[in-house]
Structure 1
Amino acid sequence: MVKEKDIWNVLEKIRDPELGVSIVKMGMIKKVELKGDAVYIECELTTPACPLKKEIEDSIRSELSRIEGIRNVEIKTTAKVLPSRRILPEDILPSVKNIIAIGSGKGGVGKSTVATNLSIVLAKSGAKVGLLDGDIYGPSIPRMLGIKEPVRTDGKKLIPPEVYDIKVISIGFFITEDTPLIWRGPIISGALRQLFTDVDWGELDYLIVDLPPGTGDIPLTLAQTLPNAHGVIVTTPQPAAYSIAMKALMMFKKLNLNVIGVIENMSYFICPHCKNRVEIFGSGGGKELAEKLNVSFLGSIPLDPEVRISSDEGVPIVISNPHSEASKAYFDVARRLAGKLSMISFKLLRS
């Protein structure tokens, strides 16, 4: 007759595919219930966007099905996002578990589009997500998300508008589209700090910060204000973008921001007529950059006119056409990003 301890012994031998640690030791198994020839398992992942969810479930089902007397394995999978940063008593955002700064060395690589679509994908997975438009001089996220409602206040804090299940704040909510901001560095830095501190973010699993291009005041302010944030670099394949993205990546390292990885945007174009793949801007720049600096390559996103059209219309591609090639790429990149953060969280927890 099968006993509950037999189930636990088998589960103890199943390891997380990325970390190589027992899923029992990681605390992922929350409940084991045995009823006759059926076993019920509750498994808690470290992110709802876990890229290995199916692999872990298949391993559990496969290993338990080998036990003589077990005919049915039912698995309920939940998720609880863990912080990937040390939250100190003086932290200005103590209820935000993970902060990811999306940067680039130059403009025009689609950084804001990437930040917006990744935020939505993470939210669609079930995570609590915030998106901060840190591009003070050229805020574009309000248009990309089609937000026209004014920012409200409760008398103490700003209440960020919510769209597609993400909380959003941008300097663009407080100025007209044709108003230029002719501000010096200290004013810019102060404005960014206010977007962090004067907004009621509530509890967030992920806060995505869309940085302006380059290596100026904003990244420096971010590093000083939130020293435990992580960085992601967006580049395009061609050598010109690659060399400048290298500077942005080195900037993150000099500011002691942990660089999670590199995303290559506009990697290739699929002809809508002949379906051939054309690498308009060359190939491999993002991967080469990641390998050279020993960080993860999070994936490639194709060049697709529909991405531009959907952003201009305020309905990002992962919402307007979630089955498109570009949307599938965004989902893959978001899962890899969430997986990397989970690995950092687990190592932080063990330390």
Structure 2
Amino acid sequence: MSSIDETLYEALCTVHDPELRRPITELGMVEKAYFEQGVAHIHVLLTIEGCPLKTTIEHDITQALSGVEGVQQVQVHIGYMNPQQRQKLRSTLGHKSKNPFSAEDSLTRVYAVVSGKGGVGKSSMTANLAASFAADGLSVGVVDADVHGFSIPGLFGIEQAPTRFEDMILPPVVSVPENVSGQGSGCVKVISMGMFVAGNKPVAWRGPMLHRALEQFLTDVHFGAIDILLLDLPPGTGDIAISMAQLLPTAELVLISTPQSAAVDVAERAGTMSVQTQQKVAGVIENMAAMRMPDGSMLDIFGAGGGVKLSERLSATLGYDVPLLGSVPLDVSLRTGGDVGVPLVWADTSSETAQSINRIARQLSHRARNLNGKPLPFNV
């Protein structure tokens, strides 16, 4: 009797590893798959003992085989890869201990979400932009580079720790809810210092350690093939901003500001730093704009016109058009969504604020770029 039944194997090809987002058959995780008196026996090799997603894999296998003719019951037998099998998987993944996003042939768009000061909603905007990209079917990576003030895991409701596999770190993956996804299997892969800190302990690090942390997020974390990488940077023009420019020189900046004049002035300084780092500012997002009241009127809590002013100032200083990508209304739901770990663009797709963020995300994902000299991933 063959240890691999072709009918069962074909069904198992539809089961994807939750972290690696590739078929378990392709990853060498299926050791045996055979029938025995109406029972489908599946022997699966997990990457490590104590795999946090063991139950998810078992469930997905059972679901995939439940519709196969002749299957009355599914029994999943769990085993673990030996060192040789893990090394083979590592080779399959093609992971190299270097920063893939700085390579000249990288097709991943990299956006650093920056602000001049704190409290302008930079992290909330990063999370919702990532969620919007994913809802359009894109694979997105998010690096929470705000080491001292990490918040991205909470905004996505992530409690799972990253998985360590060989010399790689597999980031937690958040899938788009089924009622939202419309164009494929988009997802968000997240890494943050908050995943390595017990409880709510502070991180008291200086420049060199901050640089090394960001470097490890880019080299050791296996994001795989992603369409867009977002970095949520701490406010200002300090160590992390400088390290980001060194490690990701082709990253483009997305500047977040409120309409308030004081916030615009500080944000302008963050934007003009791009002259020193030789990076491009992709555009400005005016956050916390006029709030719609119950009677339909608009209340300018933080003033008005700041986004246009910032766009005009940066365009004049930098010598190229820095567009105002959009003005996002102040919305209580944006805050409540962050509190419960569900981005607003997923929780309430019809809201004015969600639609505004979606329009901004599509501008960033559909921007033209020069692919001259870059190899395209076509298999002939």
Moved over 6 A (4+): none
Indicate whether 1:224 and 2:263 are aligned. Answer: no
The count of residues paired between Structure 1 and Structure 2 equals 257
Number of the residue aligned with 1:214: 236
Question: Shift of residue 91 of structure 1?
Answer: 5.5
* Partner Cα distance (1:150, 1:129) in 2: 18
Question: Shift of residue 96 of structure 1?
Answer: 5.2
Q: Computing the radius of gyration over CA atoms, which structure comes out larger, 1 or 2?
A: 2
Number of the residue aligned with 1:332: 359
Contact 2:99 2:219 in 1 (8 A): no
Contact 2:268 2:313 in 1 (8 A): no
Number of the residue aligned with 1:100: 111
* Partner Cα distance (1:176, 1:112) in 2: 21
Number of the residue aligned with 1:306: 333
Once the two structures are superposed, what CA deviation does each residue of 1:57-116 show, in whole Å capped at 9, x if it has no partner?
xxxxxxxxxxxxxxxxxxxxxxxxxxxxxxxxx864345521100000000000000011
For 2:370, which of 316, 322, 345 is the aligned residue?
Answer: 345
For 1:126, which of 130, 134, 137 is the aligned residue?
Answer: 137
Question: Shift of residue 348 of structure 1?
Answer: 8.4
* Partner Cα distance (1:277, 1:347) in 2: 46
Number of the residue aligned with 1:259: 281
Q: What TM-score do the two structures reach when normalised by structure 2?
A: 0.65
Indicate whether 1:112 and 2:137 are aligned. Answer: no
User: In the alignment, residue 311 of structure 2 is paired with which amino acid?
Assistant: A
User: In the alignment, residue 283 of structure 2 is paired with which amino acid?
Assistant: G
* Partner Cα distance (2:371, 2:299) in 1: 40
* Partner Cα distance (1:177, 1:250) in 2: 37
Once the two structures are superposed, what CA deviation does each residue of 1:158-198 show, in whole Å capped at 9, x if it has no partner?
00000031111000000134201111111111111111111
Indicate whether 1:236 and 2:263 are aligned. Answer: no
Contact 2:111 2:230 in 1 (8 A): yes
Give the 3-state SS of the residue equivalent to 1:202 in structure 2. coil
* Partner Cα distance (2:275, 2:257) in 1: 17
Residue identity (%): 41
Give the 3-state SS of the residue equivalent to 1:345 in structure 2. coil
* Unaligned 5+ runs, structure 2: 1-97, 176-186, 316-321, 375-380
Indicate whether 1:170 and 2:192 are aligned. Answer: yes
Cα distance, 1:158–1:91 mapped onto 2, change above 3 Å: closer
User: In the alignment, residue 137 of structure 1 is paired with which amino acid?
Assistant: H
User: In the alignment, residue 223 of structure 1 is paired with which amino acid?
Assistant: A
Give the 3-state SS of the residue equivalent to 2:285 in structure 1. strand
* Unaligned 5+ runs, structure 1: 1-89
Once the two structures are superposed, what CA deviation does each residue of 1:265-319 show, in whole Å capped at 9, x if it has no partner?
0011001x21111111111111111112211110011101111011011011011
Contact 2:289 2:304 in 1 (8 A): yes
Number of the residue aligned with 1:319: 346
Number of the residue aligned with 1:274: 295
* Partner Cα distance (1:153, 1:142) in 2: 18
Number of the residue aligned with 1:196: 218
